[in-house]
Amino acid sequence: MSEKRYSDLSVSELQQEIAVLTDKARKAERLGMVNEYAVLERKATMAKAYLLNPADFKAGGLYEIEGAPGEYFKVQYLNGVFAWGFRLNGNKEEEALPISLLKEIK
């Protein structure tokens, strides 16, 4: 795929990119390429964020962090597909997470 920003891709192009990245990540994991696997997983996470609607995430909301059971993130504000806030059990330093990492608490 040519070098396009995720924000410029259509939904089907994003889904295709996610599938390609996930496949490459699996191969890297099988080959023991830990760093390559981590990079590809992060790229897939970013692409997934562009499939979501930032308006579905609310400032002041509390969300569980995907892949980190028991860790919660308090959203202070949103900027594009990033939620800025802090981890509840962390050091309270502001950080940004892609909205694809946030799960609604049920």
**Chain segment 82-99, per-residue pLDDT in tens:** 999 999 987 889 999 999
Q: How far is 86 from 4, CA to CA, in rounded Å?
A: 30
Q: Is the pTM of this model over 0.85?
A: yes
3-state SS, residue 36: helix
Angle between helices 34-49 and 11-30 (to 10 degrees): 160
Q: What is the pLDDT of residues 53-65, one digit of tens each?
A: 999 999 999 999 9
